[in-house]
Amino acid sequence: LTAKVTDGNGADDVKRVFFKSYDATREVWRTDLKGNQILFNLYDDGTGDSGSGDLQSGDNTYSLNVFIGIFKPKTFPMLTAKN
């Protein structure tokens, strides 16, 4: 999963890039056992396939290697960037 992130105030203003998963069958956001939404962070760290999947550090492209199982065909990821 890769997202090119821009911010009108500059790249340093981006504090976090993440996605969360929605279960359309049950019409709920995926949560942990305590009921908290599960957020998957994306990284701009240049660690490649041995890490997050991001190819170049500091290029404002955030990545995360993610496996979305075929056993949940109605689960949709939503990408969000926060500053």
| Residues, the chain | 83
Coil, strand or helix: which one is 47?
coil
Pull the structure tokens for residue 21: 């998963």
47 in the Ramachandran plot: left (φ > 0), alpha (ψ -120 to 50) or beta? alpha
φ, ψ at 67 (rounded to 5°): -105, 120
pLDDT in tens, 13-44: 999 999 888 887 888 898 999 999 999 999 99
pLDDT in tens, 39-63: 999 999 999 988 999 999 999 999 9
Give me the pLDDT at residue 15, please: 92
Region 66-71: mean pLDDT is 64
Cα–Cα distance, 24 to 38 (Å, whole number):
15
